[in-house]
A and B are shown apart, each in its own frame.
Chain A
Amino acid sequence: MSVTVRIPTILRTYTGGQAEVTAEGTTLGEVISDLEKNHTGISARVLDDQGKLRRFVNVYVNDDDVRFEQGLETVTPDGAGVSIIPAVAGG
């Protein structure tokens, strides 16, 4: 399963400046593991010491916030778009 991952500006040092990369995996957790293989260091920025999504990271699979889905177990269909976004606020 190949997905497209949008990389936020603060993580682009790990992707050689690329805003979008491809990764493999049937779940979000697998996608992040695959990202780590090709872009060493990125996983520790997105996940905390317990391997959970950091609380100030929002991740979307297509248009769905994974916190409303199954978190790292969220299924990532072939061709899906994954967006990693720093949490921001203020309305």
Chain B
Amino acid sequence: MAVQTVASTTDSAVDLGPAAALSCRECGHRVPLGPVFACEECFGPLEIAYDFSAYDTEELRKRIEAGPANIWRYAPLLPVPADVATKPNMNPGWTKLVKADNLARELGVTGGLYVKDDSGNPTHSFKDRVVAQAVEAARAFGYTTLSCSSTGNLAGAVGAAAARAGLRSCVFIPHDLEQGKVVMAAIYGGELVGIEGNYDDVNRFCSELIGDSAGESWGFVNVNLRPYYAEGSKTLAYEICEQLGWRIPDQLVIPIASGSQLTKIDKGLQELIKLGLVEDRPYKIFGAQAEGCSPVSVAYKAGHDVVRPQKPNTIAKSLAIGNPADGPYVLDIARRTGGAVEDVTDEQVVDAIKLLARTEGIFAETAGGVTVGVTKKLIENGLIDPAKSVVVLNTGDGLKTLDAVAGTGLTATIRPNLESFREAGLA
């Protein structure tokens, strides 16, 4: 049984590069690297503790800049072996940072507005970044089956990565997901199981499965491999800064589902500062949710430091996590950096998807509509300073959530002649 075998693994028994141990984010309790995710002392989340002590700043910068055009250019800062780029992996990342001048004009931003467009990843969402880390952890710990609970994007990323890596995949999703995401998850040939319930029900099921003999030898990317998996989101911070000329933007707008991505982007920025790769300057992190699933936004506005779970009801299904485990950390980060957490209605999400498409030629999935919509709202209410730089994340491709913009279609139907063309007012 892989879990038991690896739970006793010592730091030196696995090669995961600079990863030195697992450390509890709540109480600081340290355990050796292994496929465990919760602190045995307090249930707090375990995360990777690194040893970066050997790095010289300028040598590291040169090494990164000479690296491949994917996340493995940052391998020295990730829990992966040094030869990771030679292994079969999806090699995601180094997606476009689009200078969104047209959108900036619409929103009145003069300090520079950028969209980090992660729809350009191999399975068209940011999930490829995190799954790529989990695949390497799965290899290190000897797992041959990859699994996950998913709101859709992750299921596709796991299916594809397992296919590439030669692993079996069996993933679990809510039974009523968008058809595009179901197809995107199923096409890679792994097993795809619909669970009668919402994402939180799926997540609970997977957490129980992993404690059962049926699932204990599986690598669940966002459960027992979660400490490794989550680190992939740091690469968004690394890329944004490198693409801006090794500079931290003044303001970042990040979607919140579990809150993991936002917390890891902050961790990535802090690492770059400590390593001397960027100037230590203030930045503000803003979290974005849909009103129909806004437990973190509600807690932020109420001044709470804990998050009361909600039953999700929004078209932004990739963000529909009613019980976000990293919610308290998101609140800490938003407050520490002087940012905020805000939410928008489903109607505003759709409007924002169309706004981004119309101004920048980027077709975002609903999560991208949430971030753009929240950016607009935060500018209008004065919390985002339009005179300073803003980076907005689009974490997925609009082709996956076509239902959200149903009704968008033909401008006119005409007969195949010029008269009809003119009659339709198209000349």
Interface residues of A (CB under 8 A from B): 6-10, 13, 19, 45-46, 54-58, 60, 63, 65, 67-68, 83, 85-91
Contacts and interface: CB of A to CB of B under 8 A. Distances in A.
Given A19-B211, A91-B154, A56 B200 contact: no
Contact of B26 (A6, A19, A56): A56
Interface in B81-131: 130
B226 A45 contact: no
Nearest to A60: B204
B23 to A, nearest CB: 14
Contacts of B44: 56
B249 interface: no
Interface stretch (B60-68, B316-324, B400-408): B316-324
Contacts of A65: 200, 204, 309, 323
B306 A88 contact: no
A91 B199 contact: yes
Most buried by A among B38, B311, B319, B324: B38
A55 B325 CA distance: 9
B204 A56 contact: no
Given A9-B210, A55-B306, A91-B151, 19 more contacts: A6-B211, A7-B211, A8-B207, A8-B211, A45-B40, A45-B43, A56-B38, A56-B44, A57-B43, A65-B204, A86-B37, A86-B207, A88-B37, A88-B226, A89-B258, A90-B221, A90-B230, A91-B154, A91-B321
20 contacts: A8-B207, A10-B43, A13-B40, A56-B325, A58-B204, A65-B309, A65-B323, A67-B323, A68-B311, A83-B204, A86-B37, A86-B38, A87-B38, A88-B37, A88-B223, A89-B222, A89-B257, A90-B229, A90-B260, A91-B150
Contacts of A56: 26, 38-39, 42-45, 325
B259 interface: yes
Which 10 interchain pairs have the tightest Cβ spacing?
A89-B258, A89-B325, A86-B38, A90-B222, A91-B151, A87-B325, A56-B43, A85-B207, A91-B257, A10-B40
Contacts of A19: 211-212
Most buried by A among B152, B153, B204, B258: B204
B308 interface: yes
Nearest to B207: A85
A74 B36 CA distance: 29
B308 to A, nearest CB: 7
Interface string B210-226: 11100010000111001
A65 to B, nearest CB: 7
B17 interface: no
A82 to B, nearest CB: 12
Contacts of A89: 203, 222, 226, 257-260, 321, 324-326
A55 B328 contact: yes
Interface in B6-53: 26, 36-45
A6 B208 contact: yes
Contacts of A7: 211
B75 interface: no
B42 A54 contact: yes
